[in-house]
């Protein structure tokens, strides 16, 4: 018997060995994605996650008992048990549960089903890891690495400064349209999860580097030609030499290179880690939790409250280090 896959690559290979997606299931998934986007304005990443989760279940099911739309509660429980045996992580299974609940709730609303087989799926227990933030000195070292005498280096410096100054998600950063930044007012308009907009202050340093990028680097990267709009009709703010927005993967790799050059273990530096650093450093310097929630674009304050644990640990270390009876 083949052993259970242990890595994400192993699980991808396993997924490729599942049967091809049936046409009826593909149509059902497409109708659901279209309805979810129309009703809730789901972010592209959420749509992609829903699609991947549902396609894998449909292929695992392979049309049995009415395909994806006909799955019963027992089938969903067996599928969750199968994923657990294959080594999928609790966070991945929690996302799957959200995909299933959204899909079958949609079928009930649309009158395709009378019952919701996903209603009683128990959420997996998730660990509550503390955000891994860089120190302020590490952030300073990271920001100083890009060679600002080159167009791409100046672009990277502006992107890093903006991500740290505004606490942006990597998808928000690379997808920023050119008209999202208002240098006169010193704010950036960010389209976050669920297509919710928020205004975030730029800060003096970030504004300075954005001004330099727009005046010097962006025209070079555009090559004196008009920059084409994306599928949504937006002209990207940050450009590659191909006059397109950088991908999330390309930005991730650039961040790893800059971290290594700054003497920081690149395995410990991620775009989300820079966002965590923004939040942690603000709290350590006395920021209000409600204000931080607005800056991060969190829908719920409970999501933001995890940063209070980080701030508390920081205060405890300071107390232990400096108090005469610490």
Of 272, 312, 317, 319, which one is the catalytic site residue? Answer: 272
Sign of CA dihedral 245, 249, 250, 255: positive
For residue 40, give the nearest of 232, 194, 197 by alpha carbon: 194
Phi, psi of 198 (to 5 degrees): -145, 150
- CA distances (Å), origin 151, targets 139, 171, 177, 202, 253: 21, 22, 19, 21, 18
Integer Cα distance of 326 and 323 in angstroms: 5
Tokens found for residue 9: 């690559």
Dihedral, CA of residue 49, residue 52, residue 56 and residue 62, to nearest 10: 130
> Which residues, 6 or more positions from 166, have their beta carbon under 8 angstroms from its beta carbon?
188, 190, 200, 201, 202, 203, 206, 278, 295
Integer Cα distance of 79 and 325 in angstroms: 55
> Which residues, 6 or more positions from 247, have their beta carbon under 8 angstroms from its beta carbon?
174
Of 169, 218, 276, 281, which one is the catalytic site residue? Answer: 169
Give Cα 291 to chain centroid, integer Å.
Answer: 21
For residue 292, give the nearest of 315, 275, 270 by alpha carbon: 275
Of 52, 193, 256, 314, which one is the catalytic site residue? Answer: 193
For residue 188, list its beta bridge partners. 181, 200
Can 169 be counted among the known catalytic residues? yes
The conformation of residue 122, written as its DSSP 8-state character, comes to: P
Of 132, 208, 212, 298, which one is the catalytic site residue? Answer: 298
Task: Give 155-212 as a DSSP string.
Answer: HHHHHHHHHHHHT--HHHHHT-BGGGEETTTTEEEEE-GGG-EEEEE--HHHHHHHHH
Can 298 be counted among the known catalytic residues? yes
Tokens found for residue 162: 């903006």
Can 193 be counted among the known catalytic residues? yes
Can 275 be counted among the known catalytic residues? yes
Known catalytic residues are: 169, 193, 272, 275, 298, 307
């Amino acid at each position: 018997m083949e052993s259970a896959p242990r890595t994400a690559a192993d699980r991808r290979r396993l997924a490729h060995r599942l049967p091809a997606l049936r046409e009826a299931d593909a149509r059902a998934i497409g109708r659901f994605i279209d309805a979810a986007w129309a009703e809730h304005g789901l972010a592209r990443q959420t749509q992609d996650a829903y699609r991947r989760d549902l396609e894998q279940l449909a292929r695992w099911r392979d049309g049995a008992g009415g395909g994806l739309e006909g799955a019963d509660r027992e089938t969903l429980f067996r599928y969750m048990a199968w994923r657990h045996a294959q080594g999928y992580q609790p966070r991945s299974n929690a996302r799957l549960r959200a995909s299933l609940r959204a899909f079958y709730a949609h079928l009930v609303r649309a009158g395709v089903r009378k019952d919701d087989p996903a209603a009683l799926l128990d959420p997996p227990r998730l660990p509550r890891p503390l955000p891994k933030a860089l120190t302020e000195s590490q952030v300073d070292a990271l920001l100083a690495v890009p060679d600002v005498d080159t167009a791409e280096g100046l672009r990277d410096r502006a992107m890093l400064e903006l991500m740290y100054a505004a606490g942006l998600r990597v998808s928000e950063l690379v997808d920023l349209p050119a008209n999202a930044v208002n240098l006169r007012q010193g704010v950036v308009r960010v389209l976050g999860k669920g297509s919710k907009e928020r205004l975030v202050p730029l800060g003096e340093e970030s504004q300075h580097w954005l001004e330099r990028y727009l005046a010097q680097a962006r025209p070079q990267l555009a090559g004196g030609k008009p920059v084409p709009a994306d599928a949504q009709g937006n002209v990207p703010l940050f450009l590659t030499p191909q006059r397109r927005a950088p991908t999330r993967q390309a930005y991730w790799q650039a961040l790893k290179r800059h971290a290594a050059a700054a003497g920081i273990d690149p395995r410990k530096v991620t775009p989300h880690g820079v966002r965590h650093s923004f939040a942690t450093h603000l709290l350590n310097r006395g920021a209000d939790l409600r204000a931080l929630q607005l800056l991060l674009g969190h829908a719920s304050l409970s999501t933001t409250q995890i940063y209070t644990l980080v701030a508390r640990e920081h205060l405890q270390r300071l107390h232990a280090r400096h108090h005469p009876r610490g």
